[in-house]
Structure 1
């Protein structure tokens, strides 16, 4: 029975050339609230739009726009600093995913919505570890499987893992960030971050008939940010280069074709201070290079906009 399910699953992946590693909820892509000092509470609310409408065979872009994946996510971050060095961060998500396949004049549409998975991260900050105006942040945490992973289609068939709001598995997360203020321009900063996600196993996949494991994932970012005033308003602009590698997914501990790959993105960012303790943030992520395993849909454009609010403790005299 498991062998028949596996063959059916492989046929579905190959027939639709969908991806299990380029879409989904952008959890690790939205981590990293700053430690603003002891007692400071930080909250972020973001809308994330991810469009996958580019079909690749390896690094070659195919002339085929009959398949499209769109993920809309609402992301809520909470961060609290217990001390100037120890802080925690939580991220909750709601996700809507759609898949549209157009062939021979017919359109096949599938969509799901619901609460997605969450992240809990404990972080430790080390100032001046690599010289003055340098900050090192180290974080460890887990992805909590809050979202459903067993939603069925209108025909009663359980949808594949990449269309589910949740993964059905606990993941381990490691996070590292380092930033350096530039002496020749005090308002400018260079930074680098790295995130590693060690995925767990959904042991109740397809009504307990199989196990499913998304591929482990590595993300690194290298960026430059600067501040400037315009119209009596403080702006923060940045340019980030992102590298992402996803390993193949597995069903019953067997690798799945057309999953996994490497991507390089460029991400311009802009933040506007709309109140003393409130910023509006936006960023656009565009692919520079994609090299997928087999044939897959791969990201075309990603857009994020939101607000970040800081609540400082009352001063006592």
Structure 2
């Protein structure tokens, strides 16, 4: 009884002092899946930097006039993909994350920071060409999120930080991923694409020094977008515009829903890819929230920016280089 009372007071204190957890402040795993299959024997590596700024406080869909809370997540993302055949491929995503939280109230500032290796994702994918006629590809993938990151970091005073500030989740998740793309007949350089990712989260059974069980909410994310290709100054560029929808269920502690977690978001995401060489591509995208509805009161994303390099290596090219 004493343990339950202490735990309830702890949660209440965290919500009052830190003004709630948020569902969009962690490592952007689902955002960075889906390396293309470039043919049997191809190996693709991507290195990206992701900046996520959360400085908007919402109650439901209403934006509150309060900018005293700031969450910033900086992530380094390493993708690697290998095509076993023209249809089967493997993909892995490894992460490093730095998170800060600043609360300024009544002339006082509360600052928290964590950093370290984050969780990783492993996918097995299968591509089916020409599902919607020529120039179309349908992809299906299944995999897991592995809890590589620490989930028990503490403050300098020795208190364990809440789950939303930990580099890792402490749980194994199941992932399902579908995507489809179709070249447009009226403009051969243009592509219409869509994808959906579903993450069924597992339980962190060692939360708060093995005194509780924490489970992040399941997440579904869909994207639909248009990309094109142009030649500018003898360089191939691919601009695109993506509409993204994300829904997160409420987190749970001891199987009970945690207040002020979960919600729905709609983002507009302009993208730009530049072909530096035939095998090296620079990628960038800016994600701007268009609509959000959160359960209770939460910080929601204000701005997100991602940029990085993707390198494509063909197996036969690597062998020729070695010889």
Alignment of 1:119-130 (within 5 A): 119-130=121-132
Distance 1:314 1:152 in 2: 49
Query: Which residue pairs with 2:160 in the alignment?
Result: 158
Q: Is the 8 A contact 2:198 2:221 kept in 1?
A: yes
Task: Let me know the Cα RMSD of the aligned residues.
Answer: 1.2
Distance 1:11 1:133 in 2: 56
Distance 1:139 1:24 in 2: 23
The one-character-per-residue Cα deviations of 1:125-164 (angstroms, maximum 9, x if unpaired) are: 0000121111000000000000000000011100000000
Query: Which residue pairs with 1:56 in the alignment?
Result: 58
SS of 1:188's partner is: strand
SS of 1:243's partner is: strand
1:13, distance to aligned residue in structure 2 (A): 1.9
Query: Which residue pairs with 1:16 in the alignment?
Result: 18
SS of 1:314's partner is: helix
Distance 1:21 1:14 in 2: 17
Alignment of 1:131-280 (within 5 A): 131-280=133-282
Distance 1:221 1:6 in 2: 38
1:4, distance to aligned residue in structure 2 (A): 2.2
The one-character-per-residue Cα deviations of 1:180-221 (angstroms, maximum 9, x if unpaired) are: 000000000000000000000000000000000000000000
SS of 2:188's partner is: coil
Query: Which residue pairs with 1:74 in the alignment?
Result: 76
Distance 1:313 1:155 in 2: 52
Distance 2:80 2:39 in 1: 15
SS of 2:31's partner is: helix
Query: Which residue pairs with 1:117 in the alignment?
Result: 119
SS of 1:158's partner is: coil
Q: Is the 8 A contact 1:2 1:210 kept in 2?
A: no
Q: Is the 8 A contact 1:193 1:222 kept in 2?
A: yes
Q: Is the 8 A contact 2:46 2:80 kept in 1?
A: yes
Q: Is the 8 A contact 1:50 1:299 kept in 2?
A: yes
SS of 2:10's partner is: helix
Where structure 2 has 5 or more consecutive residues not aligned to the other structure, the ranges are none
Distance 2:97 2:144 in 1: 19
